[in-house]
Amino acid sequence: MHSMTNKVAIVTGASSGIGRASALLLAREGASVVVGARGREGLATLVAEIAQSGGRAFCVAGDVGDEAFAQEMVHAAIREFGGLDVAFNNAGTIGDMGPTPAVSAASWRQTLETNLTSAFLAAKYQLPAMLLRGRGSLIFTSTFVGYTVGFPGAAAYAASKAGLVGLTQALAAEFGPHAIRVNAILPGGTDTPMARQMNSTPEAWAGVESLHALKRTATPQEIAKSVLYLASDASSFTTGTAMLVDGGVSINRT
């Protein structure tokens, strides 16, 4: 049901965390994967790991805020593997955290460029390639922050990630008649380098864990399973959703 055999997928933010785990899982399930991130070394290691497991992968290093990078990712999928069926647009940034009046306009714009505008640019080139296939699955990484929970000092992050939910719904309605599904995953606390950067002490991490109904954070591999669900035909009637994969942080009050 979750087979990705003969599918071609793009994964951004693939050098670590959720993106890396998702690329490995999609490849293990049979997809040919084009992986992108800024760090070429991390991508090369990922491609080698996928190849050692019998999978197929190709890497493109670049910045998701660069329109040429978005275009090249799609070109690579078509050139190397013959087309595009799935895109997991996962790359993002926390941005500057702190009191909103202290956030510069430049920092605000940079966070929105990285988290929201990059998703638009990715979709701009991914959707036409999926139309050529006659179907597809487009996935964004949003967050519960700014959707079900408000955190002080996270205005730019919350606004940019909440914007992805609106983009998801608009694209799902626009491209649903063409059999292209568009969804967003909203992870809870996940043990990634970015999350550890935000919560850099044992006390801070314990506080994050306590926010969740499950009283723990997720592994990247757990979130990747939800990505696989949305990428595969198991979710064939699922589109336009903001899918919480958050360990109950959105409903927990204990």
Measured distance CA(254)–CA(234) in Å, rounded: 34
CA 168 to chain centre: 12
Measured distance CA(11)–CA(217) in Å, rounded: 23
10 burial class (0-12, 13-18, 19+ CB within 10 angstroms)?
Answer: buried
The 8-class DSSP code of residue 219 comes to P
Phi, psi of 245 (to 5 degrees): -130, 65
The catalytic position among 125, 147, 157, 229 is: 157
Judge whether 133 and 139 are in contact, CB under 8 Å.
Answer: no
Whether 157 sits among the annotated catalytic residues: the reply is: yes
Active site residues: 157
